[in-house]
Amino acid sequence: MSVAGVPTTAARPPMPFAILAGERPGGSPLAQAMGVAAGVLVEVAGATALARVFQAVRCSARLSHGVLCGPAAEIAESSAEIKSLLAPGDICWLAPASGPGASAVAALTQIDHYPVLLTTGDHALLTAAIIDAFLEQAEAADADLVVGLVPYARVHLAFPGSRRTRLRFQDAEYCGSNLFLVRTELGLKAILFWRQVESLRKRPWQIARHLGPATLLRYLFGRLSAVAAFALLSAKSGCRVGFVEIQQARAAVDVDSVADRELAERLLLADRAQR
């Protein structure tokens, strides 16, 4: 059955996915602090962040096979952990490009089939339930690229002491989730546009400036709504870019700092104690 022409989850074929696991220039401060070769290999409550992401995608009812883009060849080839994770053969390794945007383009080009889920290898709190809930909404969205956003109020309520990057719109505040659905090949245009501004990801007001002076002023004065922001992003990138809300606060926590690792480990150990 379907509703308004949208197939139910059971009727939709499983889709491929891409996990971005490259290192930024200079390496990961967290990896250096923990004495490991890459940020995705940092252990969180007894398992690496990457192993937890692999478990989430493999347990999802909506995903089939995928690509791991990164870490660098010398790390992947010398890591027993990565070799073990790739052993089942459903996920293949791909050399990372110069940054997350370029790596995403490389992974999507290799997969060459849409839709595709994009996520990151440091998303240690990611679960199949979070993925499936995101995809249930994102697949129904009228967009070429769909971004998952978590309401900041939910994140602050769940983790009041955690510092998170916020997108402050006129009508709402959001945190990112590192979950993206590239619904069509046109969604590549948005990723190519993102490559131009990805170095500003921690400074959303500068991203707004990149979109134009009027956009910057509207953003700074709290007069830019989320819908208007994504409409401008769509116009700039040449494809339809939309967003859906993810209600699970944990979706906003990736592990790229010592504080985030401590938070994620505390949550996972608490989960284990409750079982």
Distance CA 144, CA 239 (A): 6
* Buried b / exposed e along 204-223 (16+ C-beta atoms within 10 A): beebbbebeeebbebbeeee
pLDDT given at position 22? 93
177: nearest Cα among 169, 166, 188:
166
> Which pLDDT band, with edges at 50, 70 and 90, does 3 fall under?
very low
CB-facing half-sphere around the CA of 48: CA atoms within 13 A: 22
Given a cut of 90, whether residue 68 has pLDDT beyond it is yes
Over residues 102-112, mean pLDDT: 95
Q: Is 141 exposed, middle or buried (0-12, 13-18, 19+ CB in 10 A)?
A: middle
Over residues 189-215, mean pLDDT: 71
Least confident of 3-12, 92-101, 102-111, 206-215: 3-12
Distance CA 64, CA 17 (A): 8
What does the H/E/C string look like for 110-121? HHCCCCEEEEEC
Rounded mean pLDDT of the chain? 91
Per-residue pLDDT reduced to its tens digit, 143-201:
999 999 999 999 999 999 898 989 999 999 999 999 999 999 999 999 988 877 665 55
pLDDT given at position 240? 98
Given a cut of 60, whether residue 252 has pLDDT beyond it is yes
Over residues 230-241, mean pLDDT: 94
The pTM assigned to this predicted structure is 0.91
pLDDT given at position 7? 46
The domain limits of the chain are: 15-270
pLDDT given at position 2? 36
Stated as kind and residue range, the H or E segment containing 65 is strand 63-69
Class of CATH domain 15-270? alpha beta
Per-residue pLDDT reduced to its tens digit, 9-62:
456 899 999 999 998 777 889 999 999 999 999 999 999 999 999 999 999 999
The answer to whether 53 touches 20, Cβ cutoff 8 Å, is no
pLDDT given at position 201? 56
> What residues have CB less than 8 Å from 140, skipping those under 6 apart?
6
